[in-house]
Amino acid sequence: MTVSVIIPVYNVERFIRRCLDSVVCQKCDGFDIECIIVDDCSPDGSMRIAREIIDAYHGNSITFRIVRHEKNKGISAARNSGIKAATGDFLFFVDSDDDIVEDAFSKLVSYSVLYPSSDVIMGTALYAENNSLSNAALIKDGENFCLISDKHTIMEHVLRCRVDRNVWNKLIRRSLVIEHNLLFEEGILFEDVLWTYNLYLVLSSILIVSDMTYIYEYNPSSLMHTPKERSDLMVRSLVHISKSLLDSPLEIGGKTVQFTAHALFIFHWMLRAIDYKQKHGAETSTCFALESQKKKLFKYSFKHFNPFMTLYFMTMFKPFCLLLKLRAFRRNIDKIDCLVYKFLR
C-alpha cells in the first residue's frame, strides 16, 4: 500500500521544516509514502528548506517528488497538481503550516486494513490555537471509531457540520477521486467546502477514528486569518459556494432530496458572506451578486419549507442582519441552527 501525501508550498518558510520533519518521522510498517511537494512558485526560502530535508533523508520508505508551477496559481491548483501526480492507493492532504502526529499513518493505514470498504478514513485533529479536538460530536466516550455507511446519514452529518469539512487529515481512496474527477475549483477561497461536499456525495462509507493524527497550527498570515485584505474575494467565494450548492439539487441514490439541513448549510455560508461584507466591505458587483443570491435562497426556503424557516432566513436582510454585529448571536449561530433543525424535522 502507498499513501500519497500532497503538500502545497507557498510562503511558509517559518513552518515548512516542522511540517516535513513530521512526515519524515512517520513509521512506515507495511506501506510506503509518496510525498508530493507542490512548489506554487514560492518567492521565499520555503523550497530551499524543503530540498535540504529531502537531501538529508536516507530512508527507503518515503519517496519525495517535487512538482513546480511556473507561476503562482493558488492552493486549489497546487492540490490539483498533486492529485494528478499521485500514484498511491490513498491521498492525504497536508497544509504546509501544519504537522502530522508521529504515528498518524500507521494508525490510519491499520484502520484501512481492518475496514477495507471505507473510502475515507478520518483521524482526529488538534486545533492548537484553542486546544480543541475535531469529531467530538460523532465519537462517543469510550469508543475508538464511528463507521458510517448510509449515504443519507453521511450527508446529514456533513450538512449539520458534525463531520470535518477540511480536506486535510483524511486518507482518501485515490480511485474514487479519479473516477469522479474530483478537482478543486480554482480562483476561490474556502475551496475545501465544495470539494469535500462533492467527495461525501460519492463515497460509500466513512470511518472516523478517535486517534489524534493531525495538528492544525494557527498561522496569522494565512488567507483565512487576513479577511480585511481579502474581503471582496471572501464574499465572492462564499456567494459562489452558496450558488453552487443551491443550483445543484441534493441527490442520494439517484433521487432528489429536499433536505432541511441542506438549506441551513447554504444559509450558514450566506451569513458568513454577509458578515464579511458588513465588517470589511466588498466591490459593487460582489454586493449585487450577494443580494441576488440572498433572494434566491429566501425564495427556496419559502417554496420548500414552512414559514418558520422563512422567518429565520429573514436574518439575511435589513434590519435583521444587524444581529450579526452582536457577538453573542455569531457565537451561538450553530446552536440556533440546531434548534431550527429540530423544530422543522
Residue 224 has pLDDT above 60, yes or no: no
- Segment (H or E) for 126: strand 120-127
Residue 152 has pLDDT above 60, yes or no: yes
pLDDT band of residue 344 (cuts 50, 70, 90) is low
Pairing of strands 120-127, 206-216: parallel
Q: Alpha helices, DSSP H only, in the chain?
A: 16-24, 46-56, 75-85, 104-114, 151-159, 174-179, 191-202, 231-247, 260-280, 284-304, 307-313, 327-331, 333-344
pLDDT band of residue 227 (cuts 50, 70, 90) is low
Residue 161 has pLDDT above 60, yes or no: yes
Q: Map grid coordinates 463515497 to a residue.
A: 203
CA distance linking residue 182 with residue 274, whole number of Å: 29
Map out the domains of the chain as residue ranges.
Answer: 2-216, 227-344
pLDDT value at residue 129? 73
Alpha carbon 253 to its chain centroid, in Å, reads 24
Residue 38 has pLDDT above 70, yes or no: yes
CA distance linking residue 337 with residue 52, whole number of Å: 49
Residue 131 has pLDDT above 80, yes or no: no
pLDDT band of residue 74 (cuts 50, 70, 90) is very high
What's the topology of domain 2-216?
Spore Coat Polysaccharide Biosynthesis Protein SpsA; Chain A (3.90.550)
Closest of 8, 87, 5 to residue 47, by C-alpha = 8
The mean predicted confidence, pLDDT, of the chain is 89
Determine how many CB atoms are found less than 10 A away from the CB of residue 246: 16
Decide which of 141 and 281 is more confident. 281
Task: Output DSSP code: residue 66.
Answer: E
Averaged over 32-60, what is the pLDDT?
95
pLDDT value at residue 244? 95
- Are 9 and 46 in contact, with CB atoms under 8 Å apart? yes
Residue 317 has pLDDT above 60, yes or no: yes
- Are 38 and 78 in contact, with CB atoms under 8 Å apart? yes
CA distance linking residue 278 with residue 268, whole number of Å: 16
Closest of 269, 257, 242, 263 to residue 344, by C-alpha = 263
CA distance linking residue 63 with residue 176, whole number of Å: 23
pLDDT value at residue 85? 98
Averaged over 26-48, what is the pLDDT?
94
- Are 127 and 99 in contact, with CB atoms under 8 Å apart? no
pTM for this predicted structure: 0.91
Q: Map grid coordinates 443551491 to a residue.
A: 246
pLDDT band of residue 228 (cuts 50, 70, 90) is low
Say whether the peptide bond before residue 319 is cis (omega within 30 degrees of 0).
Answer: yes
Decide which of 283 and 325 is more confident. 283
Percentage above 90 pLDDT, the chain: 64
Decide which of 10 and 339 is more confident. 10
pLDDT value at residue 296? 94
pLDDT value at residue 246? 92
pLDDT band of residue 136 (cuts 50, 70, 90) is low
pLDDT band of residue 332 (cuts 50, 70, 90) is confident
Decide which of 236 and 162 is more confident. 236
List CB contacts of 124: < 8 A, sequence separation 6 or more.
133, 134, 135, 139, 209, 210, 211, 212, 213, 214
Tens-digit pLDDT profile for residues 189-207 = 999 999 999 999 999 999 9
Averaged over 282-298, what is the pLDDT?
95
Percentage above 70 pLDDT, the chain: 94
